[in-house]
Amino acid sequence: DTEVTQTPKHLVMGMTNKKSLKCEQHMGHRAMYWYKQKAKKPPELMFVYSYEKLSINESVPSRFSPECPNSSLLNLHLHALQPEDSALYLCASSQVGTDYGYTFGSGTRLTVV
Amino acid sequence: KQEVTQIPAALSVPEGENLVLNCSFTDSAIYNLQWFRQDPGKGLTSLLLIQSSQREQTSGRLNASLDKSSGRSTLYIAASQPGDSATYLCAVKLTYNTDKLIFGTGTRLQVFP
């Protein structure tokens, strides 16, 4: 298995809702990432997990809450989002270390109404 | 601060042309550079990964070169096809922050029949 699987593919949520994005990989990668991408912009890093521990939080608002329950799974919990949070959310994984590239999932298109 | 720029921002060419996409980075302290393809509204697909010690990598009709000292990489696409239409992103992994990919601004490519 050489894929990163993200669910759901599309999500519409109200500003008072709570929802979660899920990301899964079975490549044995021990680093996992959340990126946010707005239209016609490059992806922006949000969070990094290394060996299931949060190693980087790029000053992301607390309405985004990441979780890494095990080495294969990464969640992003969403609560009280704003319309400007609408974007494509991308999950990625890699081996820990300097020589490795990243594998990205197909993303979750989030719309906040 | 590392900045990654891609030129041109957009490119429209007839089928069959050979293409060169450019990626420039300001800080040569990189471990590797990765080229990605992104179709509209989709995730990132890795095309080629070049380590800092390498000069080039090839995969099918794609060839990527790296000149770390001058801060440049090029992606060469031979005999372009309409199916090559997508946005192409380069990204560098820094030596002093290996958890963070720095993405370029992207080149939007359209190949018409």
In this complex, the residue of B31, B46, B95 whose CB is nearest that of residue A102 is B46
Cα B32 from Cα B100, distance rounded (Å): 12
Report whether A102 contacts A90 (CB < 8 A): no
Query: At B96, is the pLDDT very low, low, confident or very high (cuts 50, 70, 90)?
Result: confident
How many whole angstroms separate alpha carbon A23 and alpha carbon A45? 15
Pairwise CB contact (< 8 Å): B99 & A48:
yes
CB B94 within 8 A of CB B4: no
Work out the end-to-end distance of chain A between its first and last CA atoms, rounded to an integer number of angstroms: 36
| Residues in Cβ contact with B77 at an 8 Å cutoff, skipping those fewer than 6 apart | B18, B19, B20, B21, B61, B62, B84
Three-class SS state of B92: strand
A54–B contact, CB cutoff 8 A: no
Instruction: Give residue-wise pLDDT tens across range B34-73.
Output: 999 999 989 999 999 999 999 999 999 999 999 999 999 9
B26, B73, B90 from B48: Cα distances, Å? 21, 12, 10
> Which chain B residues are within 8 Å of A102, Cβ to Cβ?
34, 46, 91, 101
pLDDT per residue as tens digits for the range A6-50: 999 999 999 999 999 999 999 999 999 999 999 999 999 999 999
Of B31, B46, B105, the CB nearest to A103: B46
